[in-house]
A and B are shown apart, each in its own frame.
Chain A
Amino acid sequence: MASDSVPRRRIRKILIANRGEIAVRVLRACRELGIRSAVIYSEPDRLGLPVLLADEAYPIGPAPSRESYLRAEAIVDLAVRIGADAIHPGYGFLSERSEFSRLCRDAGVIFIGPSPEAIAAMGSKVESRRLMIDAGVPVVPGGKDPLPDLEAATAAAGQIGFPIMLKAAAGGGGKGMRMVPGPAELPGAYRAARSEAAASFGDDSVYIEKLIENPRHVEIQVMGDLHGRVVSLGERECSLQRRHQKVVEEAPSPVVTPELRRRMGEAAVKAAQAVGYSNAGTCEFLLTPNGEFYFLEMNTRLQVEHPVTELVTGIDLVIAQIRVAEGEPLGPEFDDVQPRGHAIEVRLYAEDPYQRFAPSPGRIEVLRWPQGPGVRNDAGVYEGSEVSIHYDPMLAKLIVWASDRERALDRLGRALAELRVEGIRTTVPLYKALLADPDFRAGNMDIGMLDRKLAAGELRPVQEEGDGLADLPLIAAALAHFERASHNISGPAPAGAGSRRSRWSLAGRREALRGGAWS
């Protein structure tokens, strides 16, 4: 607590050890603070938006993450070589590797995040459960130890009873995580969880937990400084998930009362303090329909969904991360933070929601972001950029703010109507369908709701109303075909003869020349 012993150190250059939208997010904070920014990029990311916006950019290797964005030592060496004072890890990749935080410390580079000790303590779900139990933070019943083989998994499952969850000890983001309804599904799920855990985290340990039925996912954003102070910045509701991957997040939660917010905030602060936490972090909780909550895990980094907290608190979390890393104490704006208004984020995935969420890589041919009041776009792509198959399919986030939830929903609908993405398929149609869903609109959700609705064939594309609209795709295709055919027969339209028509023809011809590049 002796703040005088904490060294203050100005950060003048930050190396951003990430890609995509989060690298752009950190770049923005750097520029606003007058800090020089440097990014790393893999071969296919040479023309990524982060490179285009950064002050400096350095190649880090070929496409596979293991040979590029996960090269911890090479990245720290680079930081030293280019004179970066600090590294911002973003989320994913190296952000929750305690060795990486330690490498930075050993090299004299500030890691913008918690200490290696705090990451390690929270990083192992098994270890963090033990710590939370000791600190008096409520946790979900389950075995605490990694399961070495299928027999151990079977025995542990038998003890706590199905349904159960298998989880990667080093995991996050839904990878290496499997719900197992009964003994028959255990062998397959165990194999898949281990292999996914190995592929995603380089560690295939998994453990088991009792499945709490129909809970909400509500998480608390915390921020800690290097002087021992940790505060809660309120909750985010992240119950809308597909296969444990968040798709829509909002703040505040439609069901969290000020009293519950206070209690969950206190639990989160207690959890963070139990490991000597500093910088931004998130404690994830399961919230049951009757208001009990259980600590799930702590994400020791900035979260994808941090913007909704920023919009309702007015606090720039990335700037706060940088200031805290410089040794500044949390200022008065962190005293008793309460949400104002309502914010909703949807994640834009390059996936086709109506083709089993098949990834949809390719070139973004058209990209028009919504603008206007209360709309924020955090994107890692631009019109003309290439979506590669090598990385996570999340391209961008669309976030809206309004004075209350109902208005925020309406604003989201308006923003989605303005948004235009062509060339790849995205999850946008699903969000339009969700906005028409009475359960979502009413704020009735739990973490299984989206999967259940999808399995039941709900949330189909919002249907056209009336014959005129139903015929629209046919009219559009017939017109395009007509223009191409008449163009082939009659040659180019004479100059000056109806510039409107010839523009349509030209577009059609350009498309014809491209032909087949799509599918």
Chain B
Amino acid sequence: MELIVRHGEREERVQVRRSGDGFEVTVGDRTYPVDALAAGRLIQSLRIDGAHHEVAVRAQGDGTYWVSTAYGAGPVEVTDPLTHLAAQAAGGRGGRKNQRMNAYMPGRVVAVLAEEGQTVTAGQGIVVLEAMKMENEIRAEHDGVLRHIFVQPGQSVDGGDPLFELE
């Protein structure tokens, strides 16, 4: 099976084949014999050329997997080559003009420090969010005009809820 796998800045063509009791995985031009076994819930024991790696893999839907290793954790996107091509043709990934800032944690909006239509500068505080007893100022990541503010003081938000949109 041929896949396109994206991890951070990297995007690689990856091939997975069954091989005996295990697998053979080719990433770019490197091929690894992999012996993979589940060690309880979420945890996978991967032996690659004798070296052992304990990883946790959680499917998040849409071909995204949260992978955590001894060195860190993060999302890895997996698509098949055809879907990948179609997405590129549709310009799915590039060309974001509006930048939407989402709540990166669940919490309560304590204050909104700017107004829709206002021109703001990078680093300027827009929304103050309180969670786990700490107040955090959510700032504009770049200069721009505030297109929308989606929240009001006093409102509770979930992680991922939109806070404001910057053009």
A contacts, CB < 8 Å to B: 175, 188, 192, 195-196, 199-200, 354-356, 358-361, 365-366, 389, 391-393, 417, 420, 422-423, 425, 429, 432, 461-464, 467-469, 471-482, 484-486, 498, 500-501, 503-504, 506-508, 510-512, 514-516, 518-519
Contact = CB atoms under 8 A, between A and B. Distances in A.
Interface residues of B, number: 66
B42 A476 contact: no
A195 B69 contact: no
B133 A471 contact: no
Contacts of B43: 366, 420, 422
B36 A515 contact: no
Contact of B59 (A355, A389, A515): A515
Given A422-B42, A474-B14, A479 B133 contact: no
B109 to A, nearest CB: 13
Contacts of A463: 71
Interface in B1-39: 1, 3, 5, 7, 10, 12, 14, 16, 18, 21, 23, 25, 27, 30, 32, 34, 36-38
Nearest to A383: B41
Contacts of A481: 3, 16, 63, 65, 78
A507 B38 contact: yes
Nearest to A188: B125
Given A471-B30, A480-B65, A392 B133 contact: yes
A146 B133 CA distance: 22
B55 A476 contact: yes
A468 B25 contact: no
17 contacts: A366-B41, A420-B43, A432-B71, A462-B72, A467-B30, A469-B71, A473-B7, A473-B69, A474-B10, A476-B44, A478-B3, A479-B16, A482-B1, A504-B37, A511-B59, A512-B59, A519-B160
B59 A484 contact: yes
Most A-side CB within 10 Å, residue of B10, B25, B40, B134: B134
Contacts of B67: 473, 476-477
B106 A389 contact: yes
A355 B160 CA distance: 13
Contact of B131 (A359, A366, A500, A515): A359
A420 B69 CA distance: 10
B69 A472 contact: yes
With most chain B CB atoms within 10 A of its CB, the pick from A389, A417, A425, A472 is: A472
Contacts of A354: 72
Nearest to A510: B41
B73 A511 contact: no
6 nearest A-B pairs in the assembled complex, by CB-CB distance: A461-B72, A477-B76, A507-B38, A477-B65, A482-B16, A481-B78
Given A366-B41, A422-B43, A479-B36, A472 B12 contact: no
B76 A425 contact: no
A423 B77 CA distance: 18
A365 B41 contact: yes
Nearest to B80: A485
Contact of B78 (A423, A477, A508, A519): A477
B155 interface: no
Contacts of B61: 515-516
B137 to A, nearest CB: 8
B31 to A, nearest CB: 11
B123 interface: no
Given A195-B110, A506-B38, A473 B76 contact: yes
B150 interface: no
A392 B78 contact: no
Contacts of B25: 475, 478-479
A302 to B, nearest CB: 20
A175 B57 CA distance: 36
Contacts of A360: 105
B155 to A, nearest CB: 15
Interface stretch (B45-53, B83-91, B92-100, B114-122): B45-53
Contacts of B152: none
A504 B40 CA distance: 10
B82 interface: no
Given A420-B43, A472-B69, A473-B74, 19 more contacts: A188-B125, A359-B106, A359-B107, A359-B132, A365-B42, A389-B106, A462-B72, A469-B71, A472-B53, A473-B55, A474-B12, A476-B69, A477-B5, A479-B46, A480-B44, A481-B65, A482-B3, A503-B38, A519-B60
B44 A429 contact: no
B42 A500 contact: no
B8 to A, nearest CB: 9
Contacts of B30: 467-468, 471
A454 B12 CA distance: 30
A468 B68 contact: no
